Amino acid sequence: MPSCLPPSAFRLTLLGGGWWGTLHAPKFPGFLDHGYPNWGGRNSHTNYYDDVPDTGVTRYYDFTIDYAPIAPDGVELEGILINGQFPAPAIEANWGDWIQVTVHNNLGNEGTALHWHGLLQKGTVWEDGVPSISMCPIAPGTTHTYYFQADLYGTSWYHSHYSAQYSSGAVGPMIIYGPNSTATDYDIDVGPVMISDWYHRKYYELVQQTMAPISENQLPPESNNILINGMMNYDCSQTTMPCTPNAGVAKFAFTSGKKHRMRLINTGAEAMLKFSIDGHKMTIIANDFVPIEPYEVTSVTLGIGQRTDVIVEAIGSPDSVYWVRASAGPGVFAGGCNFNDPKASEALAVIYYEAADQDAAPTTDAQPDAEMTSCANDALSLTKPVMSLTPAANPSTTMDLHITFQSNGTHNIWYFGPENGNVSYRADYSEAILLEANQQDYNFSPDSNVFDFGSNETVRLVVYNHFPAPHPMHMHGHNMFILAEGTGTWDGTVTNPENPQRRDVHILDAGSADTPSYLVVQFQQDNPGVWPFHCHIAWHVSGGLYMSILERPDSIERLSIPQKNLDTCSSWGSWSESNIVDQIDSGLRKKSFVSRVRAWLAL
């Protein structure tokens, strides 16, 4: 199989290192290798779930994960970095390429694993990178190599899926170049715009607060700042930690009259964020890995894990300077959506046009809807995929799921399951559900929260939220049909029934015990494996808001899982025999407290 290196070391260093978010960062190409990729006539209307090209090209990456000092907003702390960079280096490939990532765990006394968010992993389910599901953690001092195909195209990210490590910095963008429709032509690809909340404590301390016993009466962690491409200033008078004022903000270069593609990614731990550019409209062209029919907005709402690609026409004069904003809103105690410091609730970046004074600060005004106030995505009626698909009107099976926040006697934790069988998830790092199923061992721990839908062709899930907090719900291995959302009891109405929105994360709005909110999703069981379905808020996953979908177990038994995945469990077992695994959360927590739920339904 032919192979090639990723973009030049020079370009990678710029994108992932000190020049990230600066005016010197190079623009992204239309595709790699300076020649048209081998897509065999496939275009934006090709069914990318059934017809994926194989370019015969492998892109190689070598990542070392380690602790290192970091101060993205001027406040110094220990971060978890990949190749010493935050954000981590960009992974780039053409649609149909193969990606090989060798990961060295230099964290010292804790495991790790990387997840390639949004990729389907058809035929390579073991590469999904979730410890206790598709593999065991990568043990300290060991190396693991992932190998998977770029089976979808667009914008995404990769991150640690071990506990809440990614909230300390283990995140990076992933760009898969694919066909564009004539309706979405643009001139310049600005590249990833990563927006996130940020905390001035290590992730472990944040998880400790999240998992504190009821007696301590702890609230969820409050973020200290909001970042754009890993940058933002902070008022050093608000901290006793070492702090350098005026750390700097991200900067983007625009050219008058040109159309610019910006790849928006929420890589945060808890905060839903609203992105806007003063004085400019944006045309949305994709949500997650799904190109959609374009529509125009002045702001974009992104829950954790969501991506939205926009085209921005540079309507300013050549000497223009504009603010870019990522708002978390006023904070939950002031009626907002997030646990964030209201004094540091908005990240700023700057757009400089080609003749602008690059030392000038903008004087522009925010868009009327720039602040995060509504905890929901755009209306489903606005979002129609370019490649049209109609879901089955009568799925093979339907299940109602309920999200509640309850006491287990000592802690308040999240329960997720049928109304009379709610379970709270907890991982067992010494085992991996996929590997067990492959060996026909279905004696899973009760709190693995495994739902076995057997050989059903289609599955519909109606998820009810009984708690006054929203949840960005993420499904691995699939782009879900998003059929409906609302409050109360779903009446069966589907939005855009001939071609509903598809994506891998969608926000389930806040509900209440009396009037829950709901989200209705549906997926084809065309990808045998074990697939997590969970809230992507780090603290909610830590508290157990997670389930595993066992998809077509008969086919799982026939998978040829590479020895290297089995080796992660033997390496982890050897390490954990002589080291304490300090696992205080769900792990994505050892076996514990509730009964197993399995759903053998109408095969």
Residue 583: its pLDDT value, please?
A: 53
User: pLDDT at position 19, please?
Assistant: 63
With tokens 């010494």, the residue in question is 430
Our measurement of the distance from residue 567's CA atom to the centroid of its chain's CA atoms, rounded to an integer in Å, reads 27
Residue 595 confidence (pLDDT)? 26
Task: List, for residues 1-11, the tens digit of each pLDDT value.
Answer: 334 444 433 33
What average pLDDT does range 411-421 have in this prediction? 85
The residue among 473, 461, 469 whose CA lies nearest residue 504 is: 473
CA angle at residue 374 from 369 to 380, to 5 degrees? 95
Give the C-alpha separation, 219 to 603, whole Å. Answer: 43
Residue 582: its pLDDT value, please? 64
- Per-residue pLDDT of 277-317, as tens digits, reads 999 999 999 999 999 999 999 999 999 999 999 999 999 99
With a cut of 60, say whether residue 569 has pLDDT above it. yes
The residue among 582 and 341 whose pLDDT is bigger is 341
Place of tokens 């049209």: 388
Start-to-end Cα distance in the chain: 41
Give 487-502 as a 3 state SS string: ECCCCCCCCCCCCCCE
What pLDDT is stored for residue 458 in this prediction?
A: 98
Q: For 60-77, what is the mean pLDDT?
A: 97
- Average pLDDT on 555-574 reads 95
Q: Is the pLDDT of residue 201 over 60?
A: yes
Q: Predicted confidence band at 385 (pLDDT cuts at 50, 70, 90)? A: very high
- Note whether 287 and 295 are within 8 A (CB): no
Q: What is the tens place of the pLDDT at every residue in 472-503?
A: 999 999 999 999 999 999 999 999 999 999 99
Q: How many CB atoms lie within 10 A of CB 591?
A: 14
Name the pLDDT band for 603 (thresholds 50, 70, 90): very low
State the pLDDT at residue 421.
63
Radius of gyration of the chain (CA): 23
Portion of the chain with pLDDT greater than 70, in percent: 92
Beta-bridge partners for 69:
78
Burial class (CB in 10 A: 0-12, 13-18, 19+), 11: middle
Model pLDDT, residue 591: 32
| Whether the predicted pLDDT of 33 surpasses 50 | yes
**pLDDT tens digits, one per residue of 85-103:** 999 999 999 999 999 999 9
> Which range, of 236-245, 421-430, 439-448, averages the lowest pLDDT?
421-430
Complete domains list, the chain, with CATH: 397-577 (2.60.40.420)
Residue 163 has pLDDT above 60, yes or no: yes
For residue 331, give the nearest of 368, 375, 291 by alpha carbon: 375
Q: Which residue has the tokens 């514990």?
A: 592
Q: What is the mean pLDDT of the chain?
A: 91
Given the structure tokens 């195909």, which residue do they identify?
149
